[in-house]
Amino acid sequence: MVDGYDANYEVLASVEAITDFLDMLPKEINMTKIMPPYVFKYDGGEKPEDWGVSGFVIIAESHISIHTFPEKNYFSIDIFSCNEFDMDRAIEIIKDYFGTDRLEIRTTNRGTEFPRDIGIAASITEAQRNRLV
C-alpha cells in the first residue's frame, strides 16, 4: 500500500494519465494484466474538494488500484498480489510517475493459510465437504 503526498496535480487530475499508469505498471513489475484498466473521475459528492480519479486493473496475480485527490496533491495505491514482485522497482516507478518522493509504504501478508498447491487445496476442500455430510 502506497500513500503519496505532494504529487503532480496534472497527473492526479488526468483520467488518461491514470489509465496509462495502470496500463503500464503490471508489465513493469512482471505481473499479468488480464483486462484493460477501468478508470473514472469522481466529482467529490458532498465535498467537492475531494474530487479525483479512481481506477483499477485486474491482474492474474490479483489487482492494482488507485485513488487520487488532486486538490490535496494526494494519492493512494494498492498493489495486491499473491506472487512476489519487485517492490523497489514499483516504488521507483510510482515516484517518477507522480513526481514525488513523499511516500508512506505499508506491506502486509494476506492469506497466510491459503494453500498454494492445487492438490493440497483439493484435499482440504474434500475434507471440509466430508465434514458437512
Catalytic residues: 62, 67, 82
DSSP string across 79-128: EEESS---HHHHHHHHHHHHT---EEE------TTS--SHHHHHHHHHHH
| Grid cell locating 52 | 479525483
